[in-house]
């Protein structure tokens, strides 16, 4: 009797399980019948989104390579370097490349002052004040718009210090050095900070 009761109990439990499984299968079928098209559409959109993201990633990589190539070619050109660097800045919306182009532009004008020659630009004449102003403008573009490019920003502070020193603006030169050498500065411990420290010591002499 006990064995029969146990068998009946087991049969009842098996029947309940079968009913639950059957109910679940029916529920799934109903769900997919009702919402299957939406699920397929969502999956299609997800795949499309990934393909678009992958496409733009590859496109960005190509754009970065082209920007660096144009920058390198501009630097190697002996004629009208400022115009070529400005062209790189205008043509490529790639911040590291633009920052490097501004730095090269500032260094170019500082170099013409150091050499005492006119820029290699059609019709240009040697004007020390104008060339220093243009160098300062290029460096300031970096500090105002590309401060997250730390290495280039550090070099821009160095350039601003050189320009200020050349203009006889000693307070500004010290300010630029301190921006690099301050222990709380993001540039602390960098090569630029070491150079600024050496220059600062000379300014105090």
Q: Which residue has the tokens 């004040």?
A: 129
State the Cα–Cα distance between residues 67 and 26, nearest whole angstrom: 59
Q: So what's the pLDDT on residue 101?
A: 93
Residue 64 — φ and ψ, nearest 5°? -65, -45
Longest dimension (CA), the chain: 118
Hey, how many other C-beta atoms are within 10 angstroms of the C-beta on 127? 14
Angle CA 117–121–122, to nearest 5: 120
pLDDT at 97: 92
pLDDT for res 194: 75
**Residue 52 pLDDT:** 46
**What is the mean pLDDT of each successive set of 10 residues along the chain, which is 205 residues long?**
49 50 54 55 52 54 87 85 93 92 92 83 82 94 91 89 89 86 78 72 60
Tell which residue, 105, 129, 131, has the closest CA to residue 118. 131
Count Cβ atoms below 10 Å from residue 178 Cβ, excluding itself. Answer: 15
What pLDDT does 132 receive? Answer: 93
């Amino acid at each position: 009797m006990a064995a029969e009761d146990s068998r009946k109990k087991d049969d009842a439990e098996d029947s309940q399980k079968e009913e639950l499984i059957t109910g679940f299968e029916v529920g799934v079928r109903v769900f997919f019948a009702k919402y299957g098209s939406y699920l397929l559409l969502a999956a299609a959109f997800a795949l499309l989104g990934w393909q678009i993201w992958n496409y733009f990633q590859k496109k960005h990589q190509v754009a970065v390579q082209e920007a660096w190539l144009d920058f390198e070619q501009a630097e190697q050109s002996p004629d009208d370097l400022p115009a070529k660097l400005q062209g790189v800045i205008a043509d490529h919306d790639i911040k590291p490349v633009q920052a490097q182009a501004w730095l090269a532009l500032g260094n170019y004008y500082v170099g013409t002052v150091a050499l005492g020659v006119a820029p290699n630009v059609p019709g240009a004449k040697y004007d020390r004040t104008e060339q220093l102003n243009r160098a300062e403008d290029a460096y300031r573009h970096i500090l105002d718009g590309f401060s997250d490019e730390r290495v280039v920003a550090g070099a821009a502070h160095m350039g601003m210090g050189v320009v200020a020193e050349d203009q006889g603006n000693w307070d500004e030169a010290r300010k630029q050095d301190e921006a690099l050498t301050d222990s709380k500065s993001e540039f602390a411990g960098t090569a630029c900070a070491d150079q600024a420290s050496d220059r600062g010591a000379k300014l105090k002499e």
